[in-house]
Amino acid sequence: MSHSMNQDPIPWNTQGVKPRRADAFQAHGTREEIRLLFGTLSRDTGRKGQFTAGAHTRVVLSPFTAKGLARALERILEQATPAGEEVPPQAAAHVSPNGSLIPNEQEKLIRLVQDLGVDFGVERSFKMAPGRLLPDRLLLAVNTRDAAPERLVQICREIGMPVEQGRLFRERLDEADTVGLGIEQSYKTATYKVYLEFWEKVKKLVGSNPDRREPLLLHLGFKWDAHDPQKAAMARYMTHPMLSTPGILKRVASILQGPGARVSLETARAVIRLAARRARNQRFIYLEVGEQGNPRRSFDVNLYKAALPLKELHPLLSGVRRAFGIPKDGFEAMFEQAGERIFGHLSAGVDRQDKDFWTISYEIRARPGV
């Protein structure tokens, strides 16, 4: 959105301008000028539990221009936030009124996992839905051989897992090989996600009977609202063993149905076929996801074997962005930051509110504990 004194749109020449993402800011001002400082929040490795912000952009505005910017932001936020919904301060910004840094939910989760003192994997993802882009989703993976069960249970308590989910998590923990701890955060809210993975159990069952084709439970997912844990759901991720690429495409078509899903289906087919060519038709791990008590129905296919840089999917995913009516600027800024990383999972379908969505995960990286 552009703003001018006469309210007429100003033509912008954006050639050569590179998007910069910011998750921390400071604002200072005098009667003559307003100074905005933008940067990226990170953990201070030298001070346990502390955070620093690396500044990358300073903007100086006149008070008149700053007022216009404030009004424009208010209008955008009114459109994006349902009436009556509060914006949690720690999600909207990472500085307090006096300028001190406030860790967000992601930093809290990273700290808790780092304090286990074991190596863990880090996977990022972004989610697209009609009119909405969530560019900053995080999943941390811990091998259950490395961490004491009670320490993992304690982390779940500290991030507010509902009691009944906590009971089931502990009951099934001994069967799992990996625990995934995730967070999906926007400026409005945050959703915690904890997964138990039963890979060794599934591999043993398939190995004992290579002709087995019935779906098997690979992941059990526990999800709840960080600010209202009573808003919770449990998801079952069922893998279809030894499914070929044509078999995957057929099942994807059974999920992405209806006139509104045409672009999603065509794009999903194109992405999976591209990955199959790069992976020389190796078999991919394919899952279907459902949640009891709501219309959630989706698929997840692990395409890491293709070793595709995320940027190669940009033309395909841009079509989904347009179909979902997602503004271009945030989408392009996200690709500017993450485009060189390796594409991992494609997930799509309808969520628990019966709305279409796409999720793209990318590049697992190992991180040491502290």
User: Could you report the per-residue pLDDT of 246-296, keeping only the tens digit for each?
Assistant: 999 999 999 999 878 999 999 999 999 999 999 998 999 999 999 988 899
As a whole number of angstroms, the distance between CA 156 and CA 344 comes to 26
As a whole number of angstroms, the distance between CA 22 and CA 42 comes to 11
Task: Give the least confident one: 32-46, 73-87, 142-156, 250-264.
Answer: 73-87
Q: What is the pLDDT of residue 128?
A: 96
User: Of the candidates 76, 103, 130, which is a domain's last residue?
Assistant: 103
As a whole number of angstroms, the distance between CA 303 and CA 137 comes to 18
Closest CA relative to residue 172, chosen from 219, 204, 116: 219
Q: Residue 11: pLDDT band by 50, 70, 90 thresholds?
A: confident
Other CB atoms within a 10 A radius of the CB of residue 144 amount to 17
DSSP letter assigned to residue 101: B
> Looking at the structure, do residues 145 and 58 belong to the same domain, yes or no?
no
Q: What is the pLDDT of residues 320-367, one digit of tens each?
A: 999 999 999 889 988 988 999 999 999 999 998 899 999 999 987 777
320 found inside a domain = yes
Q: What is the pLDDT of residue 92?
A: 39
Residue 224's beta-bridge partner residues?
192, 232
2 found inside a domain = no
As a whole number of angstroms, the distance between CA 193 and CA 347 comes to 16
Residue 359's beta-bridge partner residues?
127, 347
> Looking at the structure, do residues 281 and 230 belong to the same domain, yes or no?
yes
pLDDT above 80 (res 16) = no
Mean pLDDT of the chain: 86
Work out how many domains the chain is built from and give that number.
2
> Looking at the structure, do residues 157 and 53 belong to the same domain, yes or no?
no
Q: Residue 50: pLDDT band by 50, 70, 90 thresholds?
A: low
Q: Residue 99: pLDDT band by 50, 70, 90 thresholds?
A: very low
Q: What is the pLDDT of residues 176-219, one digit of tens each?
A: 999 999 999 876 678 999 999 999 999 999 999 988 889 999 99
Q: What is the pLDDT of residue 351?
A: 92
311 found inside a domain = yes
User: Of the candidates 56, 86, 103, which is a domain's last residue?
Assistant: 103
> Looking at the structure, do residues 98 and 234 belong to the same domain, yes or no?
no
347 found inside a domain = yes
As a dihedral over the C-alpha atoms of residue 209, residue 213, residue 219, residue 225, rounded to 10 degrees, the angle is -170
Tokens of 215: 């779906």
Q: What is the pLDDT of residue 213?
A: 86
> Looking at the structure, do residues 184 and 273 belong to the same domain, yes or no?
yes
Global pTM value: 0.75
pLDDT above 60 (res 370) = no
Burial letters for 350-361: b for 16+ Cβ neighbours within 10 Å, e otherwise? bbeeeebbbbbb
> Looking at the structure, do residues 34 and 161 belong to the same domain, yes or no?
no
> Looking at the structure, do residues 63 and 173 belong to the same domain, yes or no?
no
15 found inside a domain = no
> Looking at the structure, do residues 278 and 156 belong to the same domain, yes or no?
yes
> Looking at the structure, do residues 40 and 136 belong to the same domain, yes or no?
no
Phi, psi of 176 (to 5 degrees): -85, 150
18 found inside a domain = no
DSSP letter assigned to residue 304: G
Other CB atoms within a 10 A radius of the CB of residue 340 amount to 12
Q: What residues make up the domain containing 64? A: 24-103
> Looking at the structure, do residues 157 and 92 belong to the same domain, yes or no?
no
172 found inside a domain = yes
> Looking at the structure, do residues 68 and 214 belong to the same domain, yes or no?
no
As a whole number of angstroms, the distance between CA 182 and CA 123 comes to 9
> Looking at the structure, do residues 302 and 209 belong to the same domain, yes or no?
yes
As a whole number of angstroms, the distance between CA 193 and CA 160 comes to 11
Is residue 280 helix, strand or coil? coil
User: Of the candidates 86, 103, 120, which is a domain's last residue?
Assistant: 103
Please give the average per-residue pLDDT across 59-82, as a whole number: 76
13 found inside a domain = no
pLDDT above 70 (res 9) = no
Q: What is the pLDDT of residue 45?
A: 55
Using the structure block, give the residue that is written with the tokens 């004992």: 208
Q: What is the pLDDT of residue 44?
A: 57
pLDDT above 90 (res 118) = yes
